[in-house]
Chain A
Amino acid sequence: MTQKDAPPRWDRRMQQRLARGEAAALGELYDRFASLVHSLAHRVLGDERAADGVTREVFAHVWEHPDSYDPKQGPMRSWVAQVTHRLAVQRLRATESAALSPGGSGSAEELRSVEGKVRRASVAARADYIVHSMPAPLRAALELAYFQRRDYRQAAADLGVTEDEARRRLRLGLQLLSTAHDAGTPRGHGGAV
């Protein structure tokens, strides 16, 4: 979770190496993104084996279609997260629908409940990604206030910032996080997860 954002140069270079079929590049890609991919997939699907399966599909997709990444749209990390999100949600919808009435088509109510579940899983995964990729100072402030139950004055002291700044970080962090509910058109890859 502490990995710094890669410079765009790394992203472009990686894309070229994947495109020319360099197996070592695939290994590096896995080493950099596997834990992100797996944890997002797990958040959506809530199942270890299903998350393993999505991880396999995501890397296969990236390996087979490196050109579908557009560096102008944002960092490769966001794109990989977006692909993960899409494939995980697809799988969730498929398994949930398959679990409906044996006939194949569920009642309208059942279908609604599937969609509700898919939506909640989507929001949860988006929220994870937002927390994961928000600036570290904001994440640190949220971490202190939420998981360690520090109030904002204590958090300010822990972080070595003013109380004003601590309040600002908490508010900004939550504002970013609240966009997880927006399923609208994303800004580039970043919001699309």
Chain B
Amino acid sequence: MNGPEGFAAHDGRDGAREPRIPPPRASVEDSGLPLPDFTDPGKPDPVPLELSHDVLKSLLGAWALAACSAAETAAVEEHLGDCGACADEARRLREAVGLLQRPESLDLDPALRTRVLESCLKRRPPRIPVPEWAAPYDAETARLDALLQDFGDAEWHAPVRLRWFEADEATSRRTTVAGVIAHLLSVDGLVAVALGLDDPLTEAAGGEPAAVGPAARTDAFWRTSHFPPTRSVRAPWREQSHRLLRTVSFTGGGTGGLMVPYGDFGLPLHDAMLDRSFECWVHAEDIAEAVDYPYEAPAPRHLHRMIDLAARMLPVALAERRRAGLSGAGRPPRLVQAGEPGRSLRLEIEGAAGGEWLIPLDSPGARGSADLEVAHVALDGVEFCRLAAGHVPPEEAAAGQVGDREAIRDVLFAAAGLSRM
């Protein structure tokens, strides 16, 4: 076996940029002796082995990499003095070793993607653009995929806790990083199915009757696929996300009315794609947290759309809370005609992604009204999204609040209730 001293002779591996050209072979050929570097002065020279030309030739690569035994090294070097062809090859291979460099593991700046694509599209406007409402999904799936890029087995199997709110209670499920990607693949599949694409669940489950709704689909996937999910789930997830983007680019504006069924409710395609971008970001954060990587919030213009979707879903969520008997007791909702102004809460979202929304409190059909404003809540954009993701309990959401406390409590709990597995 070659000791560490054998590497000193041509150690080009310490990150030096210049290829190390090995010392000329002439010195060996002149003397007929092995390079002194290869022998430890404290030990007797190894006795050269008797090896055939073919074997010696086959050792040249290992020799150049200092990856053979001391005896073999000595035998090769003695041979190089006699065999011009092998000496030429040996020199060439030695030089090649100098070209081996650690792959540069510079993380690509995720923001570069947006800059590069924008500059391309400016130079040649696309005939088939990615629709505006699908841009957040494009960006978020690309960011998550970049995060997964260098994950090893330890990261893929790192434990992750999925958290959400159900009936005003914090709920959670344990899975792994790979399990989260399987979850995204299963639920994105709802959009795929609505668009007439293959259902990833059918492929994983081998034709099990289709489960409905995000949680049931995820369970079905986890149960029927090779368990536990491994890194192999990344490619199908990524391919499906590319396929979705491609398909919605072609179907363009014509499918705005297409409903994506989520089981107990449905979302128009545009909103479903926004919802999926939101989930992708939220779970990317779960993953990043599990493996202790930093992860940024979405671009403000994308975050704004996600917040807008949540704000638009709040009136229905409030009505559901009333039906389920979860709303503040005591005050019956006032009846409001559809389209008429109703009591409203002003939701003010701070930051670059922010804005203001008037949330009608008494009926999803009512119109938000500044004149009938009964409460005002101010929240940071990312904080609001964490609330809507069920990652921050409504009682702890750092919100500035003025006005009707029941209304505020209802809206904050309704926001948390938008979350699901």
Contact = CB atoms under 8 A, between A and B. Distances in A.
Contact of B109 (A52, A123, A132): A52
Nearest to B58: A167
B96 A56 contact: no
A150 B67 contact: yes
B100 A131 contact: yes
Interface string B91-122: 01101110111111010110011011101110
A43 B104 contact: yes
A118 B19 CA distance: 14
A174 B61 contact: yes
B399 interface: no
B246 A22 contact: yes
B204 interface: no
A5 interface: no
B92 A178 contact: yes
Contact of A23 (B61, B116, B238, B249): B249
B242 A28 contact: yes
A147 B101 CA distance: 9
A145 interface: yes
A22 B99 contact: no
B93 A175 contact: yes
A30 B67 contact: no
Contacts of A52: 109, 112, 115
Nearest to A181: B95
What does DSSP make chain A's interface, helix, strand, loop or mixed? helix
A63 B117 CA distance: 10
Interface of B: 1-2, 4, 7, 13, 17-19, 58-62, 64-65, 67-69, 89, 92-93, 95-97, 99-104, 106, 108-109, 112-113, 115-117, 119-121, 123-130, 138, 142, 145, 149, 238, 242, 245-246, 249
Contacts of B93: 171, 174-175, 178
B101 A128 contact: yes
Interface residues on A, range: 35 or more
B88 to A, nearest CB: 11
Interface centre among A26, A150, A170 (most CB of B within 10 A): A170
5 contacts: A31-B113, A39-B103, A42-B106, A120-B18, A145-B62
B106 A120 contact: no
A91 B261 CA distance: 52
A24 B245 contact: yes
Given A64-B123, A170-B62, A127 B99 contact: yes
- 8 cross-chain pairs, A with B, having the tightest CB-CB distances, nearest first: A171-B61, A21-B127, A170-B61, A127-B99, A23-B126, A178-B96, A152-B62, A177-B96
